[in-house]
Structure 1
Amino acid sequence: MKTGVLMIAHGSRLQEANNHAVAIGRMVQEKYGVEPLVVSFMELAKPSMAEGLAQLVAAGVNDVKVIPLFLYNGVHIQKDIPEELEELQKSYPNIQITVGRPLGADERIAQLIFERIQEVS
Structure 2
Amino acid sequence: MKEVTLLIGHGSRDDDGNQEFLAFVQEIRRRSPEQHFEACFLELTTPTIPDGFDACIRQNADRIVVVPVILLAASHVKLEIPEFLDTARRQYPDVEIVYGRNIGLHEQMIDLLTDRFYEQAAMYTQEEIQQTAIVLMGRGSSDSDANGDLYKMARQLWERTGVFTVEVCFTGITFPRLPDGIQRAISLGAQRVVVVPYFLFTGVLIKRMQGVLQDVKSIHKNLPMSMAGYFGVHQRLIEIVLERREEALRGQAFMNCDLCKYRKNASHEHSHNHEHHHAHDHSHSHG
Corresponding position: 1:36 with 2:60 = no
- Give yes or no for contact 1:22–1:39 (8 Å, CA) kept in 2: yes
* Residue 84 (structure 1) shift: 1.3
| 2:39 counterpart SS class | strand
> Aligned pair in 2 of structure 1 residues 20, 33: CA closer, same or farther (>3 Å)?
same
> Once the two structures are aligned, what percentage of the paired residues are identical?
27
Moved over 3 A (4+): none
* Residue 34 (structure 1) shift: 5.0
2:56 counterpart residue number: 56
Corresponding position: 1:114 with 2:114 = yes
Q: Distance in 1 between matches of 2:108 and 2:34?
A: 20
Q: Distance in 2 between matches of 1:4 and 1:72?
A: 24
| 1:61 counterpart SS class | coil
| 1:38 counterpart SS class | strand
| Amino acid corresponding to residue 68 of structure 1 in structure 2 | P
Q: Which has the higher contact order (CA 8 A, sep 6+)?
A: 1
1:101 counterpart residue number: 101
Q: How many residues align?
A: 121
Gaps spanning 5+ residues in structure 1: where? none
Larger mean CA deviation between 35-44 and 3-12 belongs to 35-44
Which structure is larger by alpha-carbon Rg, 1 or 2?
Answer: 2
TM-score under structure 1 length normalisation: 0.94
TM-score under structure 2 length normalisation: 0.41
| 2:38 counterpart SS class | strand
| Amino acid corresponding to residue 33 of structure 1 in structure 2 | P
Query: For each residue in 1:94-117, what CA deviation from the matched residue of structure 2 results, as whole angstroms up to 9, or x when unmatched?
Result: 111001011111111111111110
Q: Distance in 1 between matches of 2:38 and 2:11?
A: 14
